[in-house]
């Protein structure tokens, strides 16, 4: 176990370094940082001075080391577009994105697993066919189109739910939450549904196929032969064994939920990181772009690590030392 964790951490560090190199290359070579910062009447000598002050004449390794050091300390530079420190911008928007992503993930699990179990247990019932059709539509409809349709029906035609923004937020220290106010809760319904829809279909299909696979195995037949109730067999034995891949996929999808939040945030004008990133692309705001890249990579790496460890906690087969298994 510790060996595995150490190996995983080394791998994660390599991934982070690769991403840091990409981000640094972006930062350093896409657009000249000096000409972004100075006005038209700055003389060449002043430009040179600034270049020297910023350390842009140092060897590339030194520059990269400085960049990495700053990144670790959370100094990401200043946004070209907004003229404010990038870490401030992200700290403001991080809670919005994380809240949206977590609510969406929770929604997709809570709805997706029961739907998958049902379609796996009774593949021929009408309701299962309905669920299957919904999942096919969920995969084929692009995220932004689902969002637009929701806005049209619940926002414009019925005017039940707000169509943009987070509603009222409450400050808890540096974290701003919309989950404690009525308007905030109303505002998160449509974005979370939009974001969670694709994951929901994914989870449903996964649980369904795993469930059908498990129900065919010998130990399920044996459990039935022992005269256990359907409930004990289906939920105690079958469902429990389908959850390992579900945990993996959910964990890995959490990262892509945060990335896909870019689309949902654009549709609903949700003031999160994704919207910030998108605007930075439109205005070629390199510091914000490279910071977002590093931040997302960090989320991915951490989530992957947690999933790997969780995998070993959940699946007892993996906990055996390999030497013990092979000596049998």
Partner 1 sequence: MKSVARFQDTLHRFFDSDIWYSFKKSKVTISAACVTVIMILSAFTAPWIAPHNTFDPATLDLMDAFTPPAWYEDGTSKFLLGTDDQGRDIFSTILYGSRISLFVAFAAMLLAMLLGVSLGLVSGYIGGALDAFIMRIADVQISFPAILIVLLISGVARSVLPNVRHEEMAVWVLIFAIGISNWVHFARTVRGSTMVEKNKEYVQSARVIGRRRATIMFRHILPNVMGPVLVIGTIGLAVAVLTEATISFLGVGVPPTEPSLGTLIRIGQSFLFAGEWWIVIFPGVALAILVLAVNLLGDWMRDALNPKLR
Task: Tell me which residues touch partner 1 (CB under 8 A).
Answer: 15, 18, 26, 30-31, 136-137, 139-145, 148-149, 151-152, 156, 163, 255-256, 259-260, 262-263, 266-267, 277-278, 280-282, 284, 286, 289, 293, 296-297, 300, 304
Nearer to partner 1, 9 or 139 (CB): 139
- Are 307 and 3 a contacting pair, CB within 8 Å? no
Closest to partner 1 by CB, 30 or 62: 30
Q: 3-class DSSP state for residue 173?
A: coil
Question: Between residues 26 and 68, which has the closer beta carbon with respect to partner 1?
Answer: 26
Find the shortest distance in angstroms from Cβ 172 to partner 1: 30
| Number of C-beta neighbours around residue 215 at 10 A | 17
**From the CB of 264, what's the least distance to partner 1, in Å?**
11
Between 202 and 233, name the residue whose CB sits nearer to partner 1.
202
**What separation, in Å, do the N-terminal and C-terminal C-alpha atoms of the chain show?**
20
Shortest reach from residue 147's CB to partner 1, in Å: 9
Collect all residues with Cβ–Cβ distance below 8 Å to 279 and sequence separation of at least 6: 81, 285
Place of tokens 């130990």: 219
Closer by beta carbon to partner 1, 34 or else 179: 34
Question: Minimum Å distance from CB 55 to partner 1?
Answer: 22
In the complex, least distance from residue 136 CB atom to partner 1, rounded to whole angstroms? 7
C-alpha to C-alpha distances, 192 to 52, 256, 300, nearest whole angstrom: 48, 14, 20
Length of the chain as a residue count: 328
The CA-based angle 81-83-89, given to 5 degrees, is 90
- The answer to whether the beta carbons of residues 234 and 121 sit under 8 Å apart is yes
């Amino acid at each position: 176990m510790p060996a595995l964790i150490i190996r995983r951490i080394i791998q994660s560090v390599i991934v982070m370094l690769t991403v840091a190199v990409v981000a640094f290359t972006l930062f350093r070579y896409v657009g000249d940082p000096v000409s972004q910062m100075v006005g038209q009447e700055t003389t060449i000598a002043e430009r040179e001075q600034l270049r020297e002050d910023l350390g842009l004449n140092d060897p590339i390794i030194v520059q990269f080391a400085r960049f990495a050091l700053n990144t670790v300390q959370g100094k990401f530079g200043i946004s070209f577009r907004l003229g404010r420190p990038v870490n401030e911008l992200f700290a403001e928007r991080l809670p919005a994105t994380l809240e949206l992503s977590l609510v969406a993930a929770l929604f997709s699990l809570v709805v997706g697993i029961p739907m998958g179990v049902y379609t796996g247990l009774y593949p021929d019932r009408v309701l299962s066919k309905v669920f299957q059709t919904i999942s096919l539509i969920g995969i084929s409809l692009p995220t932004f189109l689902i969002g637009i349709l929701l806005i049209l029906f619940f926002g414009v035609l019925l005017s039940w739910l707000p169509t943009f923004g987070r509603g009222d937020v409450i400050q808890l220290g540096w974290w701003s939450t919309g989950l404690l106010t009525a308007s905030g809760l109303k505002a998160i319904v449509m974005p979370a549904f939009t974001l969670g829809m694709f994951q929901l279909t994914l989870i449903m299909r996964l649980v369904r196929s795993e469930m059908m696979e498990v129900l065919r195995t010998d130990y399920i037949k044996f459990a039935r032969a022992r005269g256990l109730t359907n409930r004990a067999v289906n939920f105690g034995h079958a469902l429990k064994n389908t959850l390992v891949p579900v945990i993996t996929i959910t964990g890995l999808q959490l990262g892509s939920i945060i990335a896909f939040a870019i689309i949902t945030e654009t549709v609903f004008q949700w003031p999160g990181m994704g919207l910030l990133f998108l605007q930075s692309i439109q205005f070629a705001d390199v510091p914000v772009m490279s910071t977002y890249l590093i931040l997302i990579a960090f989320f991915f790496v951490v989530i992957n690590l947690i999933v790997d460890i969780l995998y070993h906690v959940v699946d007892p087969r993996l906990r055996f030392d390999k030497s013990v298994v092979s000596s049998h």
